Structure 1
Amino acid sequence: METDVRDVLADVGRLSPFFLVRTGPDAGGPGRRPLRDLYTDPEPLRARIAHVRTVLHSDDRVAASIAFQGIAALVLSPPLAAVAVHGVLPHLGPDVLHWRPVEGGPWELWCPDPTGTAVADGAAALAGALFEDHLRPLVAAVRAQVAVSERVLWGSVASSVASGKRLIGAQRPQAADAAARVAERLLDTGPLAGTGERRAPTGPDHGWTFRRRSCCLYYRVRDGGLCGDCVLNRDG
């Protein structure tokens, strides 16, 4: 199963950098740390928020929100695609999944020796792994640094789920139905329930298009504008 999971992660990693988890003992490189450290040691997260604040010329709340969304998308996108495309849930807990900070673009993720499980109810298994292992601790860690709304942060998680579903459907049409089903179940589960609404599909979306009920605050960045799924966006 280990070789299969490596193949699964390699395959979904081709979708975009946010779906990439490097595997194997030689792919780690210097400076890698387990994700658990990000949730328990305040310094790396503080540094990431400060970096985003400098790049965007923003305040702390905007920087914390945008930094959170980038990390959350990295954590959830690979297993979402693995479940939707291959019916396999990789075991990417906070002790085996590592990150390495990079200044430009998303951080690099690495799991030296991944395992996984074939799943029939992929959404339920995925929700349990993501919410408890990663997303709740990440929400708590960010809010310990900056007073940003929990509703905003979970709305950004929901937005990342919907964005991942859209990309999977566009690049892997044979998995579009499965991606829509898994994402829909996730959006109705736990802290994501009520974060937005599903509308008739537009553009590359398959099945439905998501509109969130909160805002990630990116509009407060100079020339930032509104995201397509923002509650403040009155188009459509």
Structure 2
Amino acid sequence: MDLDPDLAALSPLGGFFVLRTVVDGPSAPVRSLPPLAQAYGPLASDADADPLLVRVRKVAAALTVPEVRIAASVAHLGLAARLWSTALGCAVLYGRIPDLDPRLLHWDADGSAPDDLWLAQVRPLPGDAATVVDVVLHGHLEPLAAALRARHRLAAGLLWGNAGSALAGAVRELDRWARTNGRTEAAARARALAGELFTHPRLTTTGTLTGTAFRRRSCCLYYRVPGGGLCGDCCFARPPGSSPHATSG
């Protein structure tokens, strides 16, 4: 199935999967939004013009975090989830993925969640695991991790744990949608693709994938957000420093 210009097959999957394209109308703001390549580049001299800093500050303000690096981790997890979801959704439903080159993919860093992404041009690529790795992991997650480590001193293990968690979450949602809608072949394709992706050296040590359930080996720091509690795939049984009898959300 060929990619259509507006990637309409992604719409029923929900906000994390939808990718806006320039055919969404003449008012599409893609030309006024920075490409993700800019976010991965050198720190801008004007902080207000640096999309990565803008996003981290927005998350920090929304969550009232005690440390900016917590917001940086949460922002990273959200963007990683969007990138994996879009690529996997296309790979499963179309059998192909669009070229998500950071120079083509534009980001509204000051927008709401899930992250608002616009693709300037739909250029089809194969939908196999090797291409998804090349487009998402090498094309985005490696330079994004490098930028965040340089600016916020986040551990590499935390960031790749986020990447693994985001991938597992995308597969889980895709599998759930497919099963609910009687698309058993799509569910099987999503799980098979996940299995292949998790053999990559960057991902294989991030956690344990059993079916679509994932248990990560690192923590994203969300437990340090006021009222945050633990994520469903957290490596901790309870928030560090809490009582053994405490409960978390």
**TM beyond 0.5:** yes
8 Å Cα contact 1:94-1:133 kept in structure 2 = yes
Alignment root-mean-square deviation, CA:
2.0
1:26-45 equivalence runs, <5 A: 26=26, 28-29=28-29, 31-42=32-43, 43-45=50-52
- Comparing 18-27 with 154-163, greater Cα deviation is found at 18-27
In the alignment, which residue of structure 1 is the partner of 2:73? 65
1:72-83 equivalence runs, <5 A: 72-83=80-91
Matched, 1:6 2:4: yes
Deviation, structure 1 residue 51: 1.6
- Which blocks of at least 5 consecutive residues in structure 2 are unaligned? 44-49, 239-246
In the alignment, which residue of structure 2 is the partner of 1:218? 222
- Which blocks of at least 5 consecutive residues in structure 1 are unaligned? 200-206
Number of residue pairs aligned between Structure 1 and Structure 2: 224
- The 1:27–1:196 alpha-carbon spacing in structure 2 relative to 1, beyond 3 Å, is farther
Deviating above 3 A after TM superposition, structure 1's stretches of 4 or more consecutive aligned residues are: none
1:51-62 equivalence runs, <5 A: 51-58=58-65, 59-62=67-70
In the alignment, which residue of structure 2 is the partner of 1:195? 206
Match of 1:48 among 25, 50, 55: 55
Per-residue CA deviations over 1:135-182 (Å, capped at 9, x if unaligned) read 100001111110111101111111111111111111122211110111
Per-residue CA deviations over 1:192-226 (Å, capped at 9, x if unaligned) read 12100123xxxxxxx34111111111001111011
8 Å Cα contact 1:22-1:109 kept in structure 2 = yes
CA distance in 1, matches of 2:205, 2:6: 31
- Comparing 109-118 with 67-76, greater Cα deviation is found at 109-118
8 Å Cα contact 1:91-1:116 kept in structure 2 = yes
CA distance in 1, matches of 2:201, 2:6: 27
In the alignment, which residue of structure 2 is the partner of 1:181? 192
Query: Aligned to 1:99, what secondary structure does the other structure show?
Result: strand
In the alignment, which residue of structure 1 is the partner of 2:242? none
Deviation, structure 1 residue 86: 2.1
Letter in 2 for 1:49: V
Matched, 1:162 2:163: no
Rg bigger for which structure? 2
TM-score between the two structures when normalised by the length of structure 2: 0.83
In the alignment, which residue of structure 2 is the partner of 1:88? 96
TM-score between the two structures when normalised by the length of structure 1: 0.88
In the alignment, which residue of structure 2 is the partner of 1:203? none
- The 1:17–1:55 alpha-carbon spacing in structure 2 relative to 1, beyond 3 Å, is same
- The 1:125–1:132 alpha-carbon spacing in structure 2 relative to 1, beyond 3 Å, is same
